[in-house]
Amino acid sequence: MSVITYRQALRDTLRAEMLRDEDVFLIGEEIGVFEGSYKITEGLLKEFGERRVRDTPIAEEGFVGSAIGAAMLGLRPVVEVMTINFSLLAIDQIINHAAKVYGMFGGQTSVPMVIRTPGGGGQQLGATHSQNIELFYSFVPGLKVLAPSNPADAAGMLRAAIRDDDPVLLLENLGLYNSKGEVAEDDEPVAEIGRAAVTREGSDITLIGYSRMAALATQVAENLAAEDISVEVVDLRSLRPLDRETIVESVCKTGSAVIAEDDWLTYGIGAELAATIQEGAFDFLDAPVRRVAMAEVPLPYAKPLESAALPSAESVTTAIKETLNAVGRRVG
């Protein structure tokens, strides 16, 4: 095992997959000469050349469409969209073509394509560059949507996405790029798409998150352990397919749940999770499911306002304590 950053885990995995399979190639804006806006593709143009590391114009609909065509002909493109916000410019290609080709043509051709894209707030990038719109894609049959929260999952899930025969969107939260963690060096584990992970076992309450909020959930659980509150943390890892079984199993065990999400509350990922818990664990619930999300506003640029709008360890902790108080356990 070695300790590396989330950013390095992605870069190393791209390189390893390009060495493993000559059909894997990279395409996107500024990924070659500039080595990517967040340096995930650093050094790959020099090593693999222009045929396999394709710089494109700033034309998301065009290069995503090109990648879909390449995938239909048997290649395995990995598309970098500079931010998930820019994917809106290619949403017709993603939703009406990548997600539907296999079903519309009777399975005669698949689209083994990966779209890697960072998102999320907290970097003072303003309202149009700080969104969590993964919900749009998680809503669509035919797409798979992954949201790793640590370097090991970033590597394992990217590897799984590249080898999958369906189109996969891999969400990379900007706040995680410099986070560090242990990653296997030799055995190249491939993550199971559609499987959540219980990253910390507990008995008092279930705390569910994904991407940055899964990492924050672990921090909250560690802090509350010092107050004798046992929090079980579920990291979703995959938003579509969603591992409903692990969610329900955890809530049946603890009897209560708080959901932490970086997107907006209304119609958010948490709403789907709350419905899943209601359908699968209603008889085990001792209190209503609580959701903690960002404020229902375009994310402000000013740092104090941006921080106030985003969910925090404090807001998640408050929701946990209020939920435990509701079930009759008095906590501070």
Q: Which residues are catalytic?
A: 60, 129
d(CA 221, CA 260): 12
Q: What share of the chain is helix, strand, coil (3-state, %, to 5)?
A: 40, 20, 40
pLDDT band at 188 (very low <50, low <70, confident <90, very high): confident
Residue 327: what pLDDT?
A: 84
Lowest mean pLDDT among 101-105, 182-186, 311-315: 182-186
SS3 330: coil
Cβ–Cβ under 8 Å, residues 28 and 81: yes
Integer Cα distance of 297 and 259 in angstroms? 19
| Residue pLDDT, tens place only, 95-129 | 999 999 999 999 999 999 999 999 999 999 999 99
Query: Contact at 8 Å (CB) between 131 and 86?
Result: no
pTM of the model: 0.96
From the list 213, 284, 299, 291, the residue with the least C-alpha distance to 250 is 284
Confidence of residue 332 (pLDDT cuts 50, 70, 90): low
Q: What is the CA angle 57-61-62, rounded to 5?
A: 50
Average pLDDT, the chain: 96
What domains, with CATH codes, occur in the chain?
Answer: 2-183 (3.40.50.970), 197-326 (3.40.50.920)
Please tell me the predicted confidence (pLDDT) of residue 189.
Answer: 85
| Bond prior to 77 in cis (omega within 30° of 0) | no
- The CA distance from 74 to 22, in Å, is 11
% of the chain at pLDDT higher than 70: 98
Q: What is the pLDDT of residue 328?
A: 80
Residue 329: is its pLDDT beyond 90? no
